[in-house]
Amino acid sequence: MRLVIAECSVDYVGRLKAHLPRATRLLMVKNDGSVLIHSDGGSYKPLNWMSPPATMHVADREELARSTTFDLEDDPDIQELWRVQAAKSDDYLLIRVYGVVGELSHDLGVDPGLIKDGVEADLQRLLAEQIEVLGSGYRLVRREYPTAIGPVDILARDSQGAAIAVELKRVGDIDGVEQLTRYLELLNRDPLLSPVKGIFAAQKIKPQARVLAEDRGIRCVSLDYDAMRGVDDVDSRLF
Which residue segment(s) compose the domain that 164 sits in?
Answer: 118-236
Using CA atoms, how far apart are residues 125 and 153, in angstroms rounded to an integer?
A: 10
Is 25 in a helix, a strand, or coil? strand
What CATH number has the domain bearing residue 53?
A: 2.70.180
User: Is 232 found in the same domain as 131?
Assistant: yes
Note whether residue 113 is domain-resident.
no
80-99 mean pLDDT: 94
Please report, as a single letter, which amino acid is at residue 210.
Answer: R
**Span of 62-71, 160-169, 212-221, 228-237 with lowest mean pLDDT:** 228-237
Is residue 37 within 8 A of residue 95, CB to CB? The reply is yes
pLDDT digits (tens, 9 = 90+) for 125-160: 999 999 999 999 999 999 999 988 889 999 999 999
User: Is 76 found in the same domain as 122?
Assistant: no
- Cis check for the bond before 21: say yes or no (omega within 30 of 0): no
pLDDT band at residue 234 under the 50/70/90 scheme:
very low
Distance of CA 208 to the CA centre of its chain: 20
User: Is 198 found in the same domain as 101?
Assistant: no
Among residues 74, 105, 136, which one ends one of the domains?
105
Task: Answer yes or no: is pLDDT of 43 > 70.
Answer: no
Predicted TM-score of the model (pTM): 0.54
- Residue 148: what pLDDT? 86
User: Is 224 found in the same domain as 124?
Assistant: yes
Q: Cβ–Cβ contacts within 10 Å for residue 37, how many?
A: 20
Name every residue whose Cβ is closer than 8 Å to that of residue 24 and which is 6 or more positions away in sequence.
5, 6, 7, 8, 101
Note whether residue 112 is domain-resident.
no
Q: What one-character DSSP code corresponds to residue 87?
A: S
Largest separation between any pair of C-alpha atoms in the chain: 80
Note whether residue 110 is domain-resident.
no
* Four-point Cα dihedral 100, 104, 110, 115, nearest 10: -90
User: Is 232 found in the same domain as 140?
Assistant: yes
What CATH number has the domain bearing residue 214?
A: 3.40.1350.10
Among residues 82, 105, 128, which one ends one of the domains?
105
Name every residue whose Cβ is closer than 8 Å to that of residue 150 and which is 6 or more positions away in sequence.
113, 114, 183
Is residue 67 within 8 A of residue 73, CB to CB? The reply is no
**Going along the chain, which residue ranges are E strands?**
2-13, 18-29, 35-38, 48-50, 54-60, 80-86, 92-105, 139-145, 152-157, 163-172, 196-205, 219-222
> How buried is 178 (Cβ within 10 angstroms: 0-12 exposed, 13-18 middle, 19+ buried)?
middle
Distance of CA 168 to the CA centre of its chain: 15
Among residues 78, 105, 132, which one ends one of the domains?
105
Q: Per the structure, how many domains does the chain have?
A: 2
pLDDT band at residue 238 under the 50/70/90 scheme:
very low
User: Is 128 found in the same domain as 99?
Assistant: no
- What value, to the nearest 5°, has the Cα angle with vertex 56 and ends 51 and 57? 160
